[in-house]
Structure 1
Amino acid sequence: MYSTTDENGIINNFPKEPKMYLAEKPSSAQKRNYALQGIAAGLLLTAVVWISLAVS
């Protein structure tokens, strides 16, 4: 851990920074899975809205 001390004697600690890396593009299978998850989320949201309207 990296520490500094100012003119009043107050210590300030800094954490170690993590290594940076670039993200990779999703594969076609991952893209398909994301699309399916989006469709499932949309259907779930639609069902919740219709159920709440039917109950009220």
Structure 2
Amino acid sequence: MYTTVNEDGVLNNYATEPQMYYAEYPAIWEQRRYFIQGAVASLFVTGLVLFGFAVS
């Protein structure tokens, strides 16, 4: 941890920064999986909304 002291004697602690890395573009099979997950989530939320309207 990196610590500094200002002129009033107050300590300031700074966390160490993690090493940066660049994200890689998802592969085609990952893109398909994300699309399927989004479709299932959309159907689930739509079902919940319709169920909420039906019981109210």
Unaligned runs of 5+ in 1: none
Q: Per-residue displacement from partner, 1:1-55 (whole Å, max 9, x unpaired)? A: 1111111111111111100010000000100000000110111011111111111
- Between the two proteins, the alignment pairs up a number of residues equal to 56
Root mean square deviation, CA, Å: 0.7
Alignment-derived partner of residue 23 in structure 2 = 23
Report runs of 4+ in structure 1 exceeding 6 Å deviation. Answer: none
Alignment-derived partner of residue 10 in structure 1 = 10
Q: State the identity %.
A: 45
TM-score when scaled to structure 1? 0.93
Unaligned runs of 5+ in 2: none
TM-score when scaled to structure 2? 0.93
